[in-house]
Structure 1
C-alpha cells in the first residue's frame, strides 16, 4: 500500500515585509477609490507626489548609510507611509505640504531612529501632526465633496491648484452648492455646538446626508471593507482595531444617551473622519504598537478613549493622529505590565 506524505500543515513560512506591505496597499484601494470619488483627482496626485518623495528620501539615506538601496525601496514600507500621509491631508493642498510631510516622516521619524523596525512613532501620523500644527490653514481646507460641490475640478484644474499655477485657490473648490465654504462633518458639528445648535439642527446642515457624514461615511465603509480583508489575510489581528472601535463606541454611546442634543451619535463617530483608516491601517503598525494580545487591546482602547475625549472636548475635530502618538508613547509601558509570564515563574 502506497502512502502520500505531505508537509505538516502547521509549519508556515512567515510573510516577507514586501508582501505584507503590498497587501496593505491593495486593501487600501476601496477606501482610496471612495475618497477619490468624493474629493477628486487630488487624492491620486497627492499619493503620486508623496511616493516619489518618499522613495527619493529613502534612497538618499541608504546611500549615506552605505546600505542596500534596492532592498530598502522594494520592501514598500516607505510607499505605505507615503500613501497613509497622502490620504490624510486635504486633496487640494499645495504640493509643498505633502513634500515637507513626507520628508519629515521618512528622514526624521523613520530613518533618524535607525530605519524600519526601530522608530517609536508612527511616521505618517507624526508628519501629519507636524503639518497640522505648522500649517493649520492648508491642513483644514478640505474641498466640498462631489454631491454638494459648487465647482467640480477636473484633473487639470486639480493639478494646477496643487502646483499653484492657477488663480483658483482652495477656497474656490470648498464652496458647496449653497455658496457656503465646506468644512468636514466633525468640524461642522463642533462649530454648530459653539453656536448653541442642537445635534438634530446640525445634522440638517450641508455637511451631513440626513444622519451620516456626507462622503466620509462611504469613505469609511471603503476602509472598513479593506480592513476586513486585512483580517482575512491575517496581515493584522483584531485586538487593536477591536479595542479602538469598542472604546469609541462605548464612550460615545454613553454621552449620546445622556445628552443627545450636544453629542454626535455613535454611528457618526465610527464612520466619520479617519476612524476606519486609523483603526485598520494606522494604529495596527506592529513596530509602534503593543505586542501581546492583552497589550494590543489596551493599546487600542487607549486610542479610542483619547479620540473620544479630543473630539468632544479638544480643539481638533478628528484627533486620531494625536491619539495614535500618545498610544505609541505608552506602548512600552503597556508591554511592561502585561507581558506574558513564563510557566513556573513569577513576574
Structure 2
C-alpha cells in the first residue's frame, strides 16, 4: 500500500470517528446548551490552524485528520463555557506536545488526554466548572467564554454526580438521587443520555470495523466488575452501582473514542483487551479514592506507559529450542 493510499485510508477512518461523535455532541448540546458548540468551534479552528502550520514547517501536504479528531474529543471533554484560552491551550498542548513532538505518528501518549490532563493539573478551578442543565443562551455563553463580563446567570455551575458522590459522607444513595439535582434516574442527570449517545456512536464504529472490540469491552467490563465488587448498596459509604459508573462521566467516550486511539495503544488484540481492562480499573480507583472526580484521562495516560509491557505479555511464547 502506497503512502497516499495509507493517508486516504486514515482519513476515511477519522471521518467515521467524527461522524460517530455526532450523537454524543447533540446530547451534550441538549444538556448544556451553546457552550458545547463554542468549545467545538474553538478547538476545531485551533487544530486546523496548528496542523496546517506544522505540516508547512515539515514540508508535508497530507493531513490524516487525527488532529481534528483529538480537538473534537477535547471539546467534548472540556467543561462547556470554559474560558476560550483554556480550550486553545488544551488543543495546542495535545497537538504540539502530544503528537508532533514525536513526529506526528508515533506518539506514546494519547494526545487528547495529555492536553486534558495538563489543563486539569495547571488550571483545576475552571476545569471543574460544569454548568447546570441547559446552560445559557448563545449571547450569555459567548460573554462567559470570552470574558466580556456579561450578565451571567446566578449559580450557573453545579457539582457533577461523580464529585458529589466522592465527597458524600452522610447521605444514602437513595437520598442523593431523591434530593440532589446532579443525579438522574440511575446516574448523573442527563449524563445517562450522553453516555448512551456515545455508546451508539461507538457501536457504529465497531460495525464499520474502525477498531476491534477488545479495548472497549476490556474497559467497560473491568469498570463493571470492580464497581460491582465494591458496591455495598445504598449506604452513605457506597461508591455507586455498576450502572452508575457506566453511565456517568466520560465512561462511554473513553471506552469507544479514547482507549481505541491506534497510535498510542497496543497493536495486538490481547494487549488491547488488557489495556482497556487496566484503564477501566484505574478509572474506578481514581474516581473513588483519587483527587479527581473522573479518572479516564489519567487512567489512559498511565496505561500508555504500560503498552510495551502489555505487548510482551500478550506475545505468544516461543517454544524452547532443543538440540
8 Å CA contact 1:143–1:171 kept in 2: the answer is no
Among candidates 1, 9, 32, match of residue 39 of structure 1: 32
Deviation (angstroms), 1:230: 0.6
Aligned to 1:143: 131
Aligned to 1:111: 100
Residues 1:112 and 1:33: Cα distance change in structure 2 (over 3 Å): same
Aligned to 1:30: 23
Cα offsets for 1:166-221 (capped at 9, x unmatched):
334586422xxxxxxx111101111223xx32222222211112433101110001
Residues 1:166 and 1:22: Cα distance change in structure 2 (over 3 Å): same
Aligned to 1:332: 308
Unaligned runs of 5+ in 1: 1-12, 147-151, 175-181
Residues 1:162 and 1:198: Cα distance change in structure 2 (over 3 Å): same
Residues 1:63 and 1:277: Cα distance change in structure 2 (over 3 Å): same
Determine helix, strand or coil for the equivalent of 1:87. Answer: helix
Among candidates 45, 48, 61, match of residue 55 of structure 1: 48
Cα offsets for 1:262-319 (capped at 9, x unmatched):
2201101000000000000011001111111111111111001101111111111110
Among candidates 199, 202, 218, match of residue 173 of structure 2: 199
Deviation (angstroms), 1:222: 0.4
Alignment of structure 1 residues 281-296 onto 2, 5 Å: 281-296=257-272
Deviation (angstroms), 1:102: 0.7
> TM-score, normalised on structure 1?
0.86
Aligned to 2:77: 88
Determine helix, strand or coil for the equivalent of 2:77. Answer: coil
Among candidates 219, 225, 233, match of residue 194 of structure 2: 219
8 Å CA contact 1:220–1:272 kept in 2: the answer is yes
Deviation (angstroms), 1:225: 0.5
Deviation (angstroms), 1:56: 1.0
> TM-score, normalised on structure 2?
0.92
Q: CA RMSD in A?
A: 1.9
Distance 1:306 1:208 in 2: 23
Deviation (angstroms), 1:163: 1.0
Unaligned runs of 5+ in 2: none
Aligned to 2:156: 173
Distance 1:341 1:97 in 2: 47
8 Å CA contact 2:24–2:195 kept in 1: the answer is yes
8 Å CA contact 1:141–1:171 kept in 2: the answer is no
Distance 2:49 2:66 in 1: 13
Aligned to 1:302: 278
8 Å CA contact 2:140–2:152 kept in 1: the answer is no
Distance 1:209 1:165 in 2: 33
Larger Rg: 1
8 Å CA contact 2:250–2:296 kept in 1: the answer is yes
Deviation (angstroms), 1:223: 0.1
Determine helix, strand or coil for the equivalent of 2:168. Answer: helix
1:157 corresponds to 2:177 = no
8 Å CA contact 1:311–1:319 kept in 2: the answer is yes
8 Å CA contact 1:95–1:163 kept in 2: the answer is yes
8 Å CA contact 2:233–2:241 kept in 1: the answer is no
8 Å CA contact 2:40–2:72 kept in 1: the answer is yes
Distance 1:37 1:233 in 2: 27
